[in-house]
Structure 1
């Protein structure tokens, strides 16, 4: 059996959080030599390196598991303190979550607001296709992701489907698609893309041509501004169906034909060894996700 003490796990987490052995030593009020000894003990226990010797140090796959263990211990310790001394003030539990920008902009905050009185939240924005890197590294306790298979040490539950529709402003449509939405027109019309990780628009474009279309691209990495740029005829793009109903009804936006959607299934992944606070957040997010398909 691998025997890693809470002290050793917290030491590794402190190195990653503070960026060096010396900084971790200052934070933990021990000597740098003691830090080195603890890390050697961890590596002896797991039988492989837990840190990449770089500046700043990084985590190996084994190191990620140890840091997740350390973060989970913090949550469980808070639960224990609350159970043993319920009358004592212990402060609010702190949780770090990873949520993609579109979910944060359209539906997720409604659920998180329900737990805001009792839990302190740090929300990291990351694309749903890449959020698991932060979860895997122990930097976050839970994530909204497009990946169903749970990462090691985590559980996964389905939230629903976020449907995206291709839209543009009426003026943009008249300017670029007067003769219809064809592959030739789409190769020339400017497209809005969230950032360089965003491939939603390319997924939709692949339905028009076997070869990759390369229209001019504008990168707008903020959900509200992304939609505003489309409304102001800067380009076309895919927007969440739950965001644009009123725009379509009012004629502020038009669907590009054929308006075939791109569906993205979303999942909630969290540490398997959770806590009461993490369970409360998970339930709130699941309730808010009822607006999804």
Structure 2
């Protein structure tokens, strides 16, 4: 049976966090030689490399598993310390989560706030399609993602569906879509995207026109400002239905097509070997997700 020494796992996590053997040695108050010895012993126990020799060092697939183990040990140790010495708890367990901007902006923050009194949260903002890289590497304990299949060492629970509608300001419609919403007008009308990872607009274009269109593009990488850019007529874009009910009701925004939409299924993935704190956060997020379809 393979046995991984906790200090070796923590050493690998320190290298990843601090970027080098020397920085990890300083953080752990040991010599760089001791760091190298621990990594050699770890690789001997695992039977394969755990690091890619680059600057900064990267993790192999085996290394990612070991770092997840190290992070889980930290959570379990914090749970144990709080249980044994609650009077000395230092502000609660620390958890790192990956949440996409739209979920954070529209529904997820309410759940996180409900679980924040005894837990310190670090929220990494990442697109739902790309959040698993951080979870897989052990940089986060949980993530909201489009991917149903759990990454190794994690569980996956469906949260619901987030519906996006293609919308624009009325003045934008009058300027760009006088001839109707068709391939020619969509190819010419500017579109607003969150960032270069955001493919919701192109996803809708492919479904709606079944053709590859390349309209002029604006990139606005902040949820509130992204919506404001569309409201002010910079372009059309896909916005969460949860966010724009009032805009549609009062005429600030209008849909490009009455039945046009993109539905994005969201999942909560987290380490299987979690902790009391992670369980509390997961329950709060699932409760908040009841507003999804």
Shorter-chain-normalised TM-score: which range?
Answer: over 0.9
User: Counterpart of 1:218?
Assistant: 218
Q: Which residue is 1:237 aligned to?
A: 237
SS in 2 for 1:148: coil
Question: What does residue 278 of structure 1 align with?
Answer: 278
* Equivalent position of 1:248 in the other structure: 248
Partner of 1:73: 73
8 A Cα contact 2:91 2:120, kept in partner: no
Distance across 1 between alignment mates of 2:87 and 2:196: 50
Is the CA contact (8 Å cut-off) linking 1:158 and 1:268 kept in structure 2? yes
Shift of 1:208: 3.5
CA shift for structure 1 position 3: 1.2
Q: Which residue of 2 aligns with 1:101?
A: 101
Secondary structure of the residue aligned to 1:158 is: strand
Map of 1:22 onto structure 2: 22
Q: Aligned partners of 2:263 and 2:207: how far apart in 1?
A: 14
Contact 1:192 1:220 in 2 (8 A): yes
The list of structure 1 runs, each at least 4 consecutive aligned residues, that deviate by more than 6 angstroms after superposition, is: none
Residue 264 of structure 2: aligned partner: 264
2:189 corresponds in structure 1 to: 189
How far, CA to CA, are the matches of 2:259 and 2:189 in structure 1?
A: 16
Is 176-185 or 85-94 further displaced after alignment?
Answer: 85-94
1:51 aligns with 2:12: no
Normalised to the residue count of structure 1, the TM-score between the two structures is 0.98
Per the TM alignment, residue 2 of structure 1 is displaced from its structure 2 partner at its CA by 1.4
Q: Paired residue for 2:209?
A: 209
Q: Distance in 2 between matches of 1:7 and 1:123?
A: 27
| RMSD, aligned α-carbons | 0.9
Distance 2:167 2:254 in 1: 5
Alignment match, 1:13 = 13
Equivalent residues in 2 for 1:124-143, closer than 5 Å: 124-143=124-143
Q: CA–CA distance in 1 between the matches of 2:270 and 2:156?
A: 7
**Correspondence 1:38 to 2:38:** yes
Runs of 5+ consecutive residues of structure 1 not aligned to the other structure: none
CA distance 1:210–1:261, change in 2 (3 Å): closer
Show the counterpart of 2:153. 153
Q: For this pair of structures, how many residues does the alignment match? A: 293
The 8 Å contact of residues 79 and 276 in structure 1, kept in 2 or not, is answered as yes
Deviations, residues 74-107 of structure 1 (Å, cap 9, x unaligned): 0001111222233443431000000000000000
Residue range with higher mean Cα deviation, 76-85 or 97-106 = 76-85
CA contact (8 A) 1:182 1:208 kept: no
CA deviations on 1:174-232 (whole Å, 9 max, x unpaired) are 00011211111000000011111111101110123333001001111111111000000
**What is the CA–CA distance in structure 2 between the aligned matches of 1:109 and 1:139, rounded to whole Å?**
20
Q: What do residues 107-147 of structure 1 show as CA deviations (whole Å, max 9, x unaligned)? A: 00000011121100000000000000000000000000000
